[in-house]
Amino acid sequence: MNQTTKVIALIIDDSAPARKLLRLMISEFFPNIAIADEAANGLEAIA
C-alpha cells in the first residue's frame, strides 16, 4: 500500500442513528479513515 489506513473503532452504547450519524460525519471530513463499526467482534476474532 502507498498510504496508511487508519482504523477507528466506534464502540457506542447509543442508538443506531447515532452510529450512522457519526459514520457519516467521519467519512465526510476524513475520507481516508476506515471505520470498524463492530469492533468488539473483530477484536475477539483476532485474540
Predicted local distance difference test score (pLDDT) of residue 47: 45
Burial 30-45 (b: 16+ CB within 10 A, else e): eeeeebeeeeeeeeee
pLDDT of the residue at 1: 43
Domain boundaries, the chain: 6-46
pLDDT in tens, 1-47: 445 555 555 555 556 777 777 777 777 777 666 655 555 455 555 54
Q: Helix, strand or coil for residue 6?
A: strand
- The four Cα atoms 46, 15, 28, 3 give a dihedral, to 10 degrees, of -10
Q: What pLDDT sits at residue 15?
A: 64
Q: What is the pTM of this model?
A: 0.36
